[in-house]
Amino acid sequence: MRRKTVGIMSVLVLVASLVLVITPLTGVGAATNSQIMNSNYFITASFEELPPVKYYLAISSTEGGSVTEPGGGVFTHNEGTVVYLTAAPDVGYRFDRWTGDVGTVANIESMATTITMNDNYSITAKFTAVGWSSIPEIIAPGSCFIATAAYGTPMAEEIQVLREFRDKYLLTNPVGQTLVGLYYRVSPPMAEFITEHPSLKPIVRAGLLPAVAMSTVVINPTMPDKAVMVGLLVLVSVVALATRAMRRPRCRYYPKRFIPPKGGSQY
C-alpha cells in the first residue's frame, strides 16, 4: 500500500509540472504559499512586470552661469539612466565644479559630463568670478564671434573646449584677459563676414584646429590628446617649412658671355 501511494504522488507531481492551470491557493499573491492536498490540483505561478524605479534629479546653479542641458529644475528619470549635463558660465565667470550628490557624476570638474541615476540626487553647478569687469562692456548684445560663425552653433564641442580653456587659463591672468578682450573687439565683424561667405567656414575651422587641440590637451592631458597635439605641431611645422622653401628665391647661374681677344682668334 505504501508503494502504491508513493507512485500516485509521483504521477501527480509530474502532471503538475507539465500542465499549468490556475487554481486558487491559500495566500494567493504571496511569494510563498501552501495548499492542502485533499484532491488533485494543477497550479501555475503567475508573474507581472513591475514598473521601473524612478528617481528625481534636482539641478541648480550659483551666480555666474546656468545649466543649459538639461536645464535647471527637478527632473524624473528611470533607474540607471545616464543624464547629460552641460554648464555654461556667464561673461566674467568660469565654471568651477559640480557640487552636491556627485557620487555618480563622471567628471565633477568638466562643464560637459554625465550623471547616472541610481538614487535621488541634487546637484549644483558652481561658478567663480574671474575678477575682470571690462568684458561685459566689450561684448554687445547678440554679438557673434569667429569660432561660433565657423562651427555654426555656440554649443559645438570645439567651442565648449575653447570656452573652458578661456575661463580656466586666460581670464585668470592679465595677459590672457588682454588677449580675450582683443578677440572680443575684432571678432564680430570677421564673424559677420564668415557668416555671409559660408565657403570660408571649413578654412576657418582648419585654422582653429591647433587652438582646439592645444586647449584639449591643457584641459584633459591624456596620452591620445598628447599624441594628437604632437602630430598637429609636426604637421604645422612641415607646412611652414614647405611654404618658406617655396617662397625663397632660387639662385640661377648665368654663364659669362665669351668675348674673343682683339686681333682675332689665336687658334
Tens digit of each residue's pLDDT, the chain (267 residues): 544 444 444 444 444 444 433 344 455 555 566 667 787 877 887 888 888 899 999 999 999 889 988 999 999 999 999 999 988 888 777 888 999 999 999 999 888 899 999 999 999 999 988 755 444 444 444 445 788 888 888 778 888 888 888 877 877 777 777 777 778 778 888 888 888 888 888 898 888 888 888 888 787 766 565 566 656 666 666 666 666 656 655 545 445 554 555 554 444
Query: The pTM is what?
Result: 0.41
The predicted pLDDT at position 15 comes to 44
The predicted pLDDT at position 239 comes to 62
Q: Note whether 124 and 64 are within 8 A (CB).
A: no
> Grid coordinates in use for 99?
557640487
The predicted pLDDT at position 78 comes to 95
DSSP three-state, residue 13: helix
Beta strands, E only, 72-157: 73-78, 82-89, 93-100, 112-116, 121-129
The predicted pLDDT at position 103 comes to 94
The predicted pLDDT at position 6 comes to 43
Q: Where are the alpha helices (DSSP H) in the chain?
A: 2-18, 135-138, 146-151, 157-165, 174-196, 201-219, 223-247
> Grid coordinates in use for 12?
501527480
Helix axis angle for 201-219 and 157-165, nearest 10°, is 50
The predicted pLDDT at position 123 comes to 97
Residue 176: which H helix or E strand, with range?
Answer: helix 174-196
Dihedrals phi, psi of 240, to nearest 5 degrees:
-65, -45
> Grid coordinates in use for 224?
591620445
